[in-house]
Structure 1
Amino acid sequence: MRPIGFVAAGLLLMAGPAWAQSSASTDAGWPCDVEPKAKLELSDYWKQPVASEAWRSNAEVASLVSDVAPRRVAQDEAVARLSALATRPAAFRGLVAAGLVETIDAERHSIIVGIKRFNARQALLATRIESSYAQLEAPKGAPVEASKAALEEQAEWDTRIFEDRQKMLPVICRQPAVLEARLGALISALKSTPKP
């Protein structure tokens, strides 16, 4: 069994400031170093005026967006397809840009919500672990040996789960930025000029 006295403090450090602010809350905040923007704006990517909702009613644009926006499509392949649009009117490419921003931002939003849920589950688990170790350390009303062994086993198991999940956090935290980088590359391809 690991030293009980250091476990709660260690979990607090691992879970970070969001957990410290609200350990028992179901909305434990943002666990990553940098909190992403709530929403990506078309104007940050495409400076020419675009009727941003109109891309859905253009069958060609909607089909193209659904073909290149998903992450399962290799970025090089998506960039090549969009670069091939260099001779198309700016208005058409603007509609494609609007579709890309909306579609990729929707996926990004889902990931952000998922990260917050992940952090809330970690906060609740950390609270449960802390409570278990507090019970084991309690001088009065200590559990009988069988109950104590079961409590120790559960606390150890919960701690292992917590730590394994926490190791995934750096990769999870990068995902919104990965999508933003993909979007930037796709929009850059749309802005490319025809080669002479």
Structure 2
Amino acid sequence: MIRSRIFSLCLVALTAPAPAYAANPGDPTWPCVQRKVETLSPGLMWPHPINEAPLREAIAADAADLAAKLEQRRVDLDEAKTLIAQFVTEHPDVTQAEMGQMFLHIFDRINRDRRALIAGIGKYAQKQIALSDRIDEARISMNDLTAATPPDRDAINSLQQQIAWDERVFQDRSRSLTYVCETPVLLEQRLYAIAQLLLSEVPQ
């Protein structure tokens, strides 16, 4: 009953899941329709070997500045493409390998944020389960009070108000998962898109 409430409400809230993801049976407390993937691999997005050595001094500062901008979700992909093109114009000798080093830096930052978000979603789900337990326990108590002779009307009314409030909070939180559960997917899609933009601007 407890699990059925939390997951039925979450499924109602998540009306637009990403097609590449599916429910994860390995973690019954995971509240999202999207499959739980905690760690990504840069090799799935960047098709070439990546050298983890520091960038050469001539481009290091500008490359770090570019990477810092591309990490930000408020920088849309059109703006990202323009920023990358400007960087290549200013550094026409940049190599594919150096682009890969920049991508790795961006990947590490976004992947770290994504892991923290997934951990936060897990904690959020645990709070929902605890609230669901509280609602169930209150309903049992209310049934006991109703069956008593005479019933304690004041206590029953107090529990009814508590249950109504807790269920409202539970449902509001569940609806907010629509955005929260999509965010790890959006971050993964952003990483892939940035990789493609960097590759497309590699000087020939």
Range class of TM-score, shorter chain? 0.7 to 0.9
Partner of 2:70: 68
Letter in 1 for 2:84: L
- How far the C-alpha of 1:162 sits from its partner, in A, is 0.5
Q: What is the rounded CA distance, in whole Å, between the counterparts of 2:181 and 2:125 in structure 1?
A: 11
Quick check: 1:79–1:185 contact (8 Å CA) kept in 2? no
Letter matched to residue 126 of structure 2: A
Decide whether the 8 Å contact of 1:28 with 1:119 is kept in 2. Answer: no
What corresponds to 2:186 in structure 1?
A: 178
Match of 2:109 among 90, 103, 106: 103
Residue 59 in structure 1 maps to residue 61 in structure 2: yes
Asked if 2 retains the 8 angstrom alpha-carbon contact of 1:122 and 1:162, the reply is yes
Q: CA-atom RMSD, angstroms? A: 3.1
Match for residue 168 of structure 2 among 160, 173, 178: 160
| Distance change in 2, residues 1:34/1:7 (3 Å) | closer
Whether 1:14 and 2:22 are equivalent positions in the alignment is no
2:42 aligns with 42
TM-score, normalised to structure 2's length? 0.75
Unaligned runs of 5+ in 2: 12-24
Q: Structure 1 residue 12: deviation in Å?
A: 6.0
Contact 1:30 1:119 in 2 (8 A): yes
- Residue 35 of structure 2 aligns to a residue whose secondary structure is coil
Distance 1:168 1:141, change over 3 A: farther
Deviation string for 1:4-42 (max 9, x for gaps)? xx99965563257xxxx9xxxxx9721111223221111
Deviation readout 1:82-112 (Å, 9 max, x if unpaired): 2445542112101111011111111111211
1:125 and 1:162 in contact (8 A); partners too: yes
The amino acid of 1:39's aligned partner reads: T
1:135 aligns with 2:141: yes
Q: Could you report, residue by residue, the CA deviation over 1:145-178 in whole angstroms, capped at 9, with x for unpaired residues?
A: 2222111111110001101111122221111111
Q: 1:78 aligns with which of 77, 80, 87?
A: 80
Match of 1:126 in 2: 132
Give the Å deviation of 1:68.
1.6
Question: Take 2:159 and 2:122, find their aligned partners in 1: how far apart are those partners?
Answer: 28
Partner of 1:117 in structure 2?
123
Equivalence for 1:24? none
* AA partner of residue 119 (structure 1): A
Q: For the Cα contact (< 8 Å) 2:2–2:133, is it kept in 1? A: no
Report % sequence identity. Answer: 25
Q: Partner letter of residue 137 of structure 2?
A: S
Identify if the C-alpha distance between structure 1 residues 48 and 15 changes in structure 2 by more than 3 Å, giving closer, same or farther. closer
Paired residue for 2:19? none
Q: Select which of 86, 90, 94 maps to 2:96.
A: 90
What TM-score, normalized to structure 1? 0.78
